[in-house]
Amino acid sequence: MTTLLYTHTDCLDHDPGSYHPESPDRLRAVLDGLSGPGFNALERRTAPLADLAEIMRVHSRHHVEAVLVAVPERGHAEIDADTVVSPGSGKAALRAVGAVCAAVDAIMAREADNAFCAVRPPGHHAEPDRAMGFCLFNNIAIAAQRARQVYGLERAAIIDFDVHHGNGTQAMFENNPRLFYASTHQSPLYPGTGARSETGVGNIVNVPLRPMAGSAEFHHAFNEFILPALEDFRPDFLLISAGFDAHKRDPLSQTMLDDADFAWVTERLVAVAARHCEGRVVSSLEGGYDLQALSTSAAAHVAVLLAA
Catalytic residue set: 125
What is the closest distance, in whole angstroms, from the C-beta atom of residue 240 to Zn ion in the complex?
Answer: 14
Applying CB under 5 A, the span of 145-153, 158-166, 178-186, 194-202 interacting with Zn ion comes to: 158-166
From residue 245, alpha-carbon distances to 200, 248, 259, 292 in Å are: 25, 8, 11, 11
Convert 251-290 to b/e letters by CB count within 10 Å (16 or more is b).
ebbebbbbbebbbbbbebbbebbeebbebbbbbbbbbbbb
Residues 114-153 that bind Zn ion (CB under 5 A): none
From residue 50, alpha-carbon distances to 47, 55, 110, 280 in Å are: 9, 8, 21, 21
Q: Among 95, 164, 185, 280, which residue sits at the site for Zn ion (rule: CB under 5 A)?
A: 164
22 binds Zn ion (CB under 5 A): no
Instruction: Supply the angle between the helices 291-307 and 24-33 in degrees, to the nearest 10.
Output: 40
d(CA 148, CA 10): 28
User: At 282, is the secondary structure helix, strand, or coil?
Assistant: strand
160 binds Zn ion (CB under 5 A): no
Binding mask 269-298 for Zn ion (x = CB under 5 A): ------------------x-----------
> Alpha carbon 4 to chain centroid distance?
16
168 binds Zn ion (CB under 5 A): no
Residues 208-247 that bind Zn ion (CB under 5 A): 243, 245
Q: CB atoms < 10 A from the CB of 307, how many?
A: 13
Between residues 21 and 87, which has the closer beta carbon with respect to Zn ion?
Answer: 21
Applying CB under 5 A, the span of 80-88, 113-121, 164-172, 262-270 interacting with Zn ion comes to: 164-172
What is the closest distance, in whole angstroms, from the C-beta atom of residue 44 to Zn ion in the complex?
Answer: 25
Alpha helices by DSSP H, listed for 109-184, are: 139-151, 167-173
Applying CB under 5 A, the span of 102-110, 159-167, 218-226, 232-240 interacting with Zn ion comes to: 159-167
Under 8 Å between Cβ of 103 and 117: yes
54 binds Zn ion (CB under 5 A): no
Between residues 277 and 300, which has the closer beta carbon with respect to Zn ion?
Answer: 300
Between residues 15 and 286, which has the closer beta carbon with respect to Zn ion?
Answer: 286
Side by side, which strands form the sheet with 114-117?
43-46, 3-7, 114-117, 281-285, 237-242, 156-160, 179-186, 204-209
Torsion angle (degrees, nearest 10) of CA 101, 24, 31, 227: -60
Between residues 54 and 286, which has the closer beta carbon with respect to Zn ion?
Answer: 286
What is the closest distance, in whole angstroms, from the C-beta atom of residue 82 to Zn ion in the complex?
Answer: 11
Between residues 252 and 270, which has the closer beta carbon with respect to Zn ion?
Answer: 252
Q: Among 54, 127, 162, 290, which residue sits at the site for Zn ion (rule: CB under 5 A)?
A: 162
45 binds Zn ion (CB under 5 A): no
194 binds Zn ion (CB under 5 A): no
Number of residues interacting with Zn ion: please give it, by CB under 5 A.
5
Interface residue list for Zn ion (CB under 5 A): 162, 164, 243, 245, 287
